Amino acid sequence: MEEYNFYWYFYAEVFGVSETLAEKAIKLYKDPQYIYEAKDESYVINGLKPKEIEILNFCKNREKLLKNMDESRRLGIHMMHEGENIFPEFVGLSDPPKVLFYRGKRPLLSPDNISMVGARSCTEYGKSMAYNLALDFAIVGKTVISGLAVGIDGACHKGALDCGGLTYAILGCGLDLCYPFSNKILFDRIIKNGSVISEYPVGVKALSWHFPKRNRIISALSDKLVVVEAKKKSGTYITVEWALQKGNDIYAVPGRATDPYSDGCNELIKQGAGLITDIGDVYGEELKIAAYMYRKTKNDSITLANENRLVYNNCDLLPTDIGTIIRNTRLPENRVLECLSRLEIEGFIEQPSKGYYCRKNV
Amino acid sequence: MFCSIISATIRGIEARKVDVEVDISQGLPVFDMVGLLNSEIKESRERVRSGLKNTGYHLPPNRITVSLTPANERKEGTGFDLAITAGLLVSMGVINKKSVENTMIAGELSLDGQLRKIKGILPMIIMAKETNIKRFIMPYENVKEALAIDGVEIIGVKNIKDFVELTNNGYKNNQIEINKDEETAVKYPDFLDVCGQENAVRAALIAAAGAHHLLLVGPPGAGKSMIAQRIPSILPPMNLEESIEVTKIYSVFGDKSMNGLIRARPYRTPHHNITPQALVGGGYKAKCGEVTLAHGGVLFLDEFAEFSRKTVDYIRQPLENGEINVSRNDANYNYPSDFMLVAATNPCRCGYYPDRNKCMCTDADVKKYMEKLKGPVLDRIDLCVSMYKTDIKEINKGGKYSSKELLKKVVKAREVQEERYKDFLKHENEQDESVNDQKIILYNSKMNFKMLQRYCKLGEKEEKLLDLIYEKYDLSTRGYYKIIKVARTIADLEDSADIKEEHILQAIAYRIDNLWC
């Protein structure tokens, strides 16, 4: 069990209540110990408002702090803070994080990191692109960083994990809870095979204004950002702005011109973002071929009987309804059902929604 | 002078015999009615008095007492008017007492002495037959319905004058135009009208063949209601027994459009705002609800997700037992309610998921909407099929299957099942003598564990496949059995004695568990 720095933990607690206050206070006092030990008079002289002083005093509850620290230790949450030599050096951020909590492996700032983001409401195409890109990135040894949200983020983590790659998930809440809870399985897998990271101490809930802040860490941990699928009005744009501020390379996955789910990405490409369809667009042809070869050795065994092959060929990456498949294959409906079920059991296709089939990421 | 006339009241969907006793004695002129009467029977006094006056008979200025026995049971219905009138006429000496002996009389009077149609004639005549009553005098309009039952002489009368004449001349001029066998062909909408959607039509076929319940999922306008509406057309025609049972229900319910015996299987579509009482029966009179009205037919719950969960959960008992028990303060009735449940729902609130060109619901919204369906009722639905937007080519081409073809397949598959489970019942009865109900006909959907083991033997290949499925989809035991049951029905439809791999594979495509993946 490691010892936490008590004063930095206090700083994190304050940060969990009010980010602006914490940043203001650290600018004034430089060291959290001074904030902790300062009296009300000192605060007043430094120009803190009565409400802010109230918050600071509320957070100074020593017993509560110790209790929370015990709880964090119990959960296996590690803490690192500014000034430690293991703390990643964030360059180019106007307000870099001072304290980071993580569960799992210690996150490293490395040129091999790549951030991937996208919208929560997305299409099957978006999910499949995210999954495949992340899978390839992980195959060639890159670390995928994302936000553990539903939709694209989840698919990114899943892709990286599925080939045993390293992945970091940045959360907007305390690490004692998994938000969104529907990604709990992913959450546990990431802890084993990477880490979940947050600026917030245990007990802090996922509140809406935490997420823009969280996005700056996603962009800060790497120097490349891939936007998979985003509408024009999407939280993803906040991450893009952070990344631009920092000077990251931005890549966007193109969508259909008329698709409202991709208009954000297409707009980014128009403005000069890199267009990415496979990992070669970021890391060059060599790694792309490496990933391709690796996958090929795994999936060389696809041999399908005639009818199964016909049905499989009529499945798309986008979910297709049974009616269309029946129509296009010109087979009787019971034969089509049989083939679809068999293909699903054998893992070639999946049903993202009842009665709609699409090809699985092979 | 005292006189007693036989009549009946309705309890639930059964008739109970009631004796109407009339006594005219010396005393102050009053008209008293006793015997735990509902207000519509108390008001009968006024109708009878005016009816008689306007036919030309004046009540004597004496003390008139009418008593309906058994006196401790609550009575309801307007059918006692004619019985009371008859009693009065006998007591007044207008009609011979002998002529109304062993005769059941029921009918509602209007003030001018005409007779009106009453509810519940069919249960009454069934009761009359069972208690060996010779003759039944009823309003003329009810005759057609009553003719379904043989063995009781039916006298239809139009007004009081008619009634007096007929009774006094020994029922000689009883004119009933009987054309009993004018069995009009039952007309249902046809599956030929359904364009495309072969998969859903096939699911309906399987559901009808094995008496499975069915859930349709699809966007608005895909034809969910259309399919549900056409399912009665592929259910085997009702036999006389079933027909009488259904007619009895509608007779008591008082369906105005009813004309003689009901031959068409009922199709009920309650709105999703329905109260529990209206769905399963209730109210202070404990009337029957939609589940009973759907007996022998199809209960279609459109917009299944919009029903209040509490309401829907009430149909668990009828789904399991084929009847519903309704208890109110003075009533406790068992209503038959053996129906096929067809539920329909949109895949999300806007209805278009997963068509991302139209649907803007978030994944969480979709999931939440689907979660709403969960519950004990959904657990009892074996088949689930998803529908989709029909292609324009299919619309122009028209339907692929006609109800006639499908019906043939269903009838054949059901025969196979009846044959198979007949043995089982016989076998069971040898072991357990308390089970002697030969009327129970079992279908694949009603198989219990014992029957599954006996009739759904699997080959080595099939068992391996099922093991794989069980692991891969993380099925519950119930889900596992559901697949076997549906596979059994598919095998029956395809005329195969054993369940083969292909049947199991098809059954998986119809499973309901993957609605919430």
Q: Are residues B15 and B121 in the same domain?
A: yes
Residues B156 and B209 in one domain: no
CB distance A240 to A255 below 8 Å: no
Q: How far is CA A308 from CA A62, A168, A337, A349, B158, in A?
A: 67, 39, 10, 11, 72
Residues A69 and A144 occupy one common structural domain: no
Pick the residue from chain A with its C-alpha nearest to B470. Answer: A345
Per-residue pLDDT averaged across B403-411, rounded? 93
Clarify whether residues A57 and A145 are in a common domain. no
**Number of other CB atoms surrounding residue B92 within 10 Å:** 19
Q: What is the residue range of B135's domain?
A: 2-168
**DSSP strand pairing (B103-105 vs B63-69):** unpaired
Give the angle subtended at the CA of A299 by the CAs of A296 and A304, to the nearest 5°: 130
Question: Above 80 in pLDDT, residue B173?
Answer: no
Report pLDDT digits (tens) over A151-201: 899 999 999 998 888 999 999 999 998 888 888 889 989 998 899 999 999
Task: Give residue-wise pLDDT tens across range B57-94.
Answer: 999 999 999 999 999 888 888 899 999 999 999 999 99
Between CA B249 and CA B256 the distance in angstroms is 13
Kindly state whether residues B130 and B241 are assigned to the same domain.
no
Residue B445: closest CA among B370, B341, B343: B341
pLDDT at residue number B358: 82
Together in a domain, A185 and A292: yes
CATH at B24? 3.30.230.10
Please check whether residue B286 lies inside any domain of the structure.
Answer: yes
- Give yes or no: residues A21 and A63 share one domain: yes
CA dihedral B301, B307, B312, B313 (to 10 degrees): 150
Distance of CA B480 to the CA centre of its chain: 31
Query: Do A281 and A328 lie in a common domain?
Result: no
At B170 the pLDDT is: 82
Residue A96: inside a domain: no
User: Is B436 among the domain residues?
Assistant: no
Whether residue A182 is found in the same domain as residue A324: no
Residue B298 to chain A, least CA–CA distance (Å): 24
Q: Would the pTM of this model clear 0.90, i.e. be above it? A: no
Greatest Cα-to-Cα distance within chain B, rounded to the nearest angstrom: 92
Tens digit of each residue's pLDDT (9 = 90 or more) over A103-139: 999 998 888 999 999 998 888 889 889 999 999 999 9
3-state secondary structure of B137: strand
Which residue, B410, B433, B455, sits at the end of a domain? B410
Residues A251 and A322 in one domain: no
> Which band of pLDDT confidence, cut at 50, 70 and 90, is reported for residue B438?
very low
- The 10s digit of each residue's pLDDT in A66-99 is 999 999 998 889 999 988 888 888 888 888 899 9
State residue B99 phi and psi, 5-degree precision. -70, -15
- CATH number for the domain that contains residue A312: 1.10.10.10
Domain shared by B377 and B481, yes or no:
no
By C-alpha distance, the chain B residue nearest A322 is B199
Quick one: A152 and A291 in the same domain? Answer: yes
Residue from B213, B331, B318, B234 nearest B282 by CA: B331
pLDDT more than 70, % of chain A: 97
Say if A100 falls within a structural domain.
Answer: no
Taking the CA of residue B461 and the nearest CA in chain A, the distance in Å comes to 14
B interface mutation test: which of A334, A343, A344 has the most B CBs within 10 A? A334
Domain tally for chain B?
Answer: 3
Residue B144 CB partners (closer than 8 Å, separation 6+):
B259, B260
Let me know if residue B422 belongs to a domain.
no
* Residue A94 maps to a domain: no
CA angle centred on A309, ends A306 and A313, rounded to 5°:
145
- What phi-psi label fits residue B23: left (phi over 0), alpha (psi between -120 and 50 degrees) or beta? beta
How many whole angstroms from its chain centre is CA B231? 15
Considering the domain architecture, whether residues A70 and A210 belong to the same structural domain is answered as: no
Alpha-carbon distance of A225 to A238, in angstroms, equals 12
Instruction: Say whether both B230 and B372 belong to one domain.
Output: yes
**Whether residue A215 sits in one domain with residue A333:** no
Kindly tell me the burial class for residue A219, based on how many C-beta atoms sit within 10 Å of its own C-beta (0-12, 13-18, 19 or more).
Answer: buried
Flag whether A336 is in a domain.
yes
Q: What whole-number distance in Å separates Cα of residue B211 and Cα of residue B224?
A: 18
Instruction: For the beta carbon of residue B459, count every other beta carbon within 10 angstroms.
Output: 12
Residues B400 and B296 in one domain: yes
Asked whether the predicted pLDDT for residue A362 surpasses 80, the reply is no
d(CA B452, CA B181): 43
Domain total for chain A?
A: 3
Q: How far apart are CA A202 and CA A74, in angstroms?
A: 11
Shared domain for B159 and B208, answered yes or no, is: no
Same domain, B213 and B95: no
- When mean pLDDT is compared across A47-51, A214-218, B17-21, B362-366, the lowest value belongs to B362-366
Q: Please tell me which residue of chain A has the smallest CA distance to B353.
A: A353
Assess whether A323 and A285 both reside in one domain: no
Measured between CB atoms, does A232 come within 8 Å of chain B? no
Length of chain B, in residues? 517
Whether B430 is in a domain gets the answer no
- B132 and B207 share a domain? no
Would you say residue A37 lies in a domain? yes
CATH for B207? 3.40.50.300
User: Which pLDDT value is given to residue B517?
Assistant: 56
Judged on CB neighbours under 10 Å (0-12, 13-18, 19+), B14 is middle
Q: Which of A127-131, A350-354, B189-193, B400-404 has the lowest mean pLDDT?
A: A350-354
CATH number at residue B472: 1.10.8
B379 and B478 share a domain?
A: no
Instruction: Identify whether B389 is part of a domain.
Output: yes
Q: Distance from B506 to chain A by nearest Cα, in Å?
A: 5
Residue A81's identity, in one-letter code, is: H
Q: What's the pLDDT score for residue A303?
A: 59
A 338-357 residues inside an 8 A Cβ radius of B? 338, 340-342, 344-345, 351-356
- Pair A289, A316 in one domain: no
**A187: CATH:** 3.40.50.450
User: Is residue B202 located within the same domain as residue B337?
Assistant: yes
* Mean of pLDDT values over B102-115: 94
Cα dihedral A10, A11, A12, A16 in deg (nearest 10) = 100
Which residues of chain B are within 8 Å of residue A151 when distances are taken between CB atoms? 363
Q: Is residue B173 part of a domain?
A: no
- Residue with token string 């995210």: A130
Q: Are residues B357 and B492 in the same domain?
A: no
- Residue B399: alpha-carbon gap to chain centroid: 30
Does the distance separating the beta carbons of A354 and B514 come in below 8 Å? yes
From the list A182, A323, A338, which residue is nearest B502 (CB)? Answer: A338
Helix then strand then coil, % of chain B, to nearest 5:
45, 20, 40
Boundary of a domain, candidates A26, A44, A74: A74
For residue A88, being part of any structural domain is answered with: no
Q: Is residue A86 part of a domain?
A: no
Last residue of a domain, one of A297, A316, A350: A297
* Contact call for A334 and B360, based on CB within 8 A: no
C-alpha pair distances (Å), A344 with each of A153, A328, A339, B466: 25, 19, 8, 14
Phi, psi angles (nearest 5°) of residue B393: -65, -40
* Exposure string for B281-297, b = 16+ CB within 10 A, e = fewer: bbeebbbbbbbbbbbbb
- Cβ of B391 and A352 within 8 Å? no
- For position A148, what pLDDT does the model report? 93
Q: In which band, very low, low, confident or very high, does the pLDDT at B53 lie, cut at 50, 70 and 90?
A: very high
- Structural domain of residue A6, as residue ranges? 1-74
| CA-closest candidate to residue B498, choices B446, B462, B470 | B462
Q: Best interface-test mutation with A: which of B197, B215, B396, B508 has the largest number of A CBs within 10 A?
A: B508
**Quick one: pLDDT band at residue B487, thresholds 50, 70, 90?**
very high
- From A297, A332, A348, the end of a domain falls on A297
Helix H or strand E encompassing B54: helix B44-55
